[in-house]
Amino acid sequence: MGKALVYRLLGPRDEPALDAFCAARRATTMFFASNRLTAPLGSSGHRRAGVYAGAFKDGELVGVVAHYEMGSLVTRAGAHALELARRVLAQTGRRCSAFVGPEPEVDALCEALAPADLAWGIEGRELLFELPLAQLRAPAMDSGQARPAELDDLDTLAAWSVDYALETLGSTRSEAMLAHERELMRGNIEAGRTWVLEAEGERLAMTSFNAQIPEAVQVGGVWTPPALRGRGYASKVVAAHLAHARDQGATTAILFTQVENAAAIAVYRKLGFVEIGRYRLALPREPFVPRLG
């Protein structure tokens, strides 16, 4: 007989099952694991709070999709992705601002749920990388100092965050977008998620963790202003941030970056990251109402 398959929404009592699911699939579940710590299942009123749906086979959680209050739909559900996505979207009634997850799953969600005429800001094909932090190969810090970002850095780093979103994520500049990026950067600074490299009072590069749990971190938001590129600043600030995380007990680092971004890929490989798969980030120019029929 086949295994009994059940689809249902997840609640607070499912947190141990979700934690076990994520632990077995760490590289592709960092958003679930990190957001769950910030906003537990069943909570609301926080941009990282979400509605989760799971697929269970004989009682074991084997697939998860979540729709967060920030608008992102995140999947790690294999063949169950579309069914679970429809369930959470019907529950939230919210627009979608991104599809995120393993490439085949996001491909399927875009085809089934996005309007045919939807304008995309980015349909990034990403390489997924992993690094056991014990194997971090940090470059010499022969110039500059890496440190946690402070609120005194907010103006500069918020402007950089805008530039990052415009260049890397295909965002469109607007007053709402500027305010949004500033709010995100303030939150990252206050949470200790962002580090900066500086020398003689000049800020040179930044990096952030877009997901973080005690045992693992996920790198995102790495930025060096165009005029300062090619000098190794990004590798230094990323390495210092990762070394700090390692010293705090983290054992693994994850990241994904666009397949066309040869410069970033070279930096990450020099630090010790190894490619382990494909990922996808699909961002529309504007949040959209998904097709559920």
CB of 62 closer than 8 Å to CB of 80 = yes
H or E stretch at 206: strand 202-213
CATH no., domain 5-126:
3.40.630
Residue 150 backbone dihedrals phi, psi, to 5 degrees: -120, 165
pLDDT for residue 117: 93
Report whether pLDDT(154) > 70. yes
Report whether pLDDT(33) > 90. yes
The C-alpha atoms of residue 75 and residue 66 are separated, in whole angstroms, by 7
Q: How many CB atoms lie within 10 A of CB 262?
A: 10
Q: Name the β-bridge partners of 56.
A: 6, 61
- Residue 195 exposure: Cα atoms within 13 Å on the Cβ side: 22
Quickly list DSSP for 30-93.
HHHHHHHHHS-TT--SSTT-EEEEEEEETTEEEEEEEEETTSEEEEE-GGGHHHHHHHHHHHH-
Question: 0.75 exceeded by the pTM?
Answer: yes
Percent of the chain whose pLDDT exceeds 90:
86
Positive or negative: CA dihedral 164, 169, 175, 181? negative
What mean pLDDT is reported for the chain?
A: 94
- Band the pLDDT of 1: cuts 50, 70, 90: very low
Report whether pLDDT(146) > 70. yes
Joined tokens for residue 143: 């110039």
Residues 6+ apart with CB under 8 A from 166: 173
The C-alpha atoms of residue 101 and residue 80 are separated, in whole angstroms, by 13
Q: Can you tell me whether residue 5 is helix, strand or coil?
A: strand
Domain boundaries, the chain: 5-126, 137-271
The C-alpha atoms of residue 4 and residue 1 are separated, in whole angstroms, by 9
Give the total residue count for the chain: 293
pLDDT for residue 141: 87
- State the pairing for strand pair 50-57/60-68: antiparallel
CB of 67 closer than 8 Å to CB of 99 = no
pLDDT for residue 254: 98
CB of 6 closer than 8 Å to CB of 53 = no
- Band the pLDDT of 180: cuts 50, 70, 90: confident
pLDDT tens-digit map of 197-245: 999 999 999 999 999 999 999 999 999 999 999 999 999 999 999 999 9
Average pLDDT over residues 32-42: 96
pLDDT for residue 289: 95
CB of 163 closer than 8 Å to CB of 223 = yes
pLDDT tens-digit map of 6-22: 999 999 999 999 999 99
Reading phi first (left if > 0) and then psi (alpha if -120 to 50, else beta), residue 58 is in left
Q: What sections of 93-226 are H helices per DSSP?
A: 103-113, 154-168, 175-191
pLDDT tens-digit map of 184-202: 899 999 999 999 999 999 9
Q: What sections of 114-217 are H helices per DSSP?
A: 154-168, 175-191
Identical fold, 5-126 and 137-271: yes
- Band the pLDDT of 172: cuts 50, 70, 90: confident
pLDDT for residue 135: 98
pLDDT tens-digit map of 111-121: 999 999 999 88
- Band the pLDDT of 171: cuts 50, 70, 90: low
For domain 137-271, say whether CATH 3.30.70.980 is its number: no
In the chain, the largest separation of any two C-alpha atoms, in whole Å, equals: 69
Rg of the chain (C-alpha set): 19
The C-alpha atoms of residue 113 and residue 107 are separated, in whole angstroms, by 10
